[in-house]
Amino acid sequence: MNWIKITDGLMFSLYALPLLFFPLSTAGAGISSALLLLVYVLSGYWRDWRKIFKRSWSFPLLLLIGWTILGLSWSTNMFFGMKVVEATGYGVFAFLGATLPWQEKWIKILIRMFIAGLVINAVLAFLMTWHVLPWHNVNNLPYTGFGGHIFISLAIVHVFLWMLWDFKFSWNFKPWLNILIAIILFAQLILAQGRSGQVLFILLIPAAIWILYEGRWRYWLSLGVLACAMGMLFIPSVYAMFSLGVHQLIHFNIHAADTNSSWGLRIIAMVGGVWMFFAHPLFGVGTGDFLPGITAMQNAHLLPKTPLFIMNTAANSYISEAAVLGIIGIGAFLWFLWSLAKEAWQDRLMPQNWFALMYIAIYIVGGMYNSLNWGYADSITIALMAGLPLHQRLSSPKKAC
């Protein structure tokens, strides 16, 4: 059998495999990512490196990676600095994807593997919570399975945003299968303690409906989302979590902070990050130096101490980037996101573009209250989304098999 054909099959399966594994095993995702790089080298597609510079996001991403590495030269925390460099360096997968010979079937396989990983994790999460299986949910939080509750909630919203497109075109799955998957994942979304995803569900699903649908469908689907959102608030555990968050936000005071509350910790981190940026606006405090910077503020009694929590980020992608790398770093980061979103938006009704665009929306909005830019799964996923053929029309959407 032709080696290049074998390599193609392996490569595109491996390109999708991290998306399958992230809800199940970070080790599995890491191994598949390493294998992807190996198969990519063997395939020889790296010889098409000039294709990279046809993509509008290529230069800002290169600038961001280079500036992050350079930021180590004025860092005092090389341990976390290398972690930030590693997370930013996962942008290599975007360059890799930009050189590959994409076909529609590979896009379909990638999306199906992404959904499969979440459904498998959801089923296992229910069985583990009900003590049918002897394993424990991550951090002993019910209904999360093997994934962190924030990551799982964001990924589930990504599935729902994708399904809105697939309901319209029936390209990937038949409607009945999409409905079954939606029921399973919605149950997990409302039972797992993932307020980040629940908020994004309320914010992004209506916006996606108004982009995709016209006429009566737009109104009926919007009413359906409203009913789901209202239904979530009638569930005692969800209502309690939202009420707690609102209470923490309203009553938080920076000089008398409740350092055990989620919002309290986030606000302390964000305020500290903003102060770091104003103190070092051009270059930032240095790659990985967020923790030393905020610790110095706490020791100087400018911020409340958080002895039980290590603040390596500002709990905000944009403040985190600005604090450690200054105007140049945040400028490169925003330039990359703008270029990527613009490229996906231009042909947004193509399956790969809609799939990537919806993740970009989650990444941009969710990054306002999470540091997604330095998260392992999110750093790789945004690179994989950028590497999809967003700039080319593969074919018109076809009905599901």
pLDDT above 80 (res 300): yes
Average pLDDT of 160-179?
Answer: 94
Q: What confidence tens digit (pLDDT) does each residue in 23-63 have?
A: 999 999 999 999 999 999 999 999 999 999 999 999 999 99
pLDDT above 70 (res 241): no
Band (pLDDT 50/70/90 cuts) for residue 365 is: very high
Flag the least confident range among 46-60, 98-112, 181-195, 246-260.
246-260
Q: Where are the beta strands (DSSP E) in 147-194?
A: none
The per-residue pLDDT for 311 is 86
Q: What confidence tens digit (pLDDT) does each residue in 373-382 have?
A: 999 999 999 9
382 CB-contact burial (10 Å; exposed 0-12 / middle 13-18 / buried 19+): buried
What is the rounded average pLDDT for all residues in the chain? 89
The per-residue pLDDT for 253 is 56
**Dist CA 371 CA 152 (whole Å):** 15
**CA 18 vs CA 12, 108, 118, 169, 200: distances in Å:** 11, 15, 12, 26, 23
The per-residue pLDDT for 1 is 43
Flag the least confident range among 81-85, 251-255, 264-268.
251-255
Average pLDDT of 274-297?
Answer: 95
Band (pLDDT 50/70/90 cuts) for residue 401 is: low
The per-residue pLDDT for 259 is 64
pLDDT above 70 (res 399): no
Q: What confidence tens digit (pLDDT) does each residue in 176-220 have?
A: 999 999 999 999 998 887 888 888 988 899 889 888 988 776 766
Q: For the chain, first and last CA: distance in Å? A: 27
260 CB-contact burial (10 Å; exposed 0-12 / middle 13-18 / buried 19+): exposed
pLDDT above 60 (res 255): no
The per-residue pLDDT for 257 is 56
Q: What confidence tens digit (pLDDT) does each residue in 118-135 have?
A: 999 999 999 999 999 999
145 phi-psi bin (left φ>0, alpha ψ -120 to 50, beta other): left
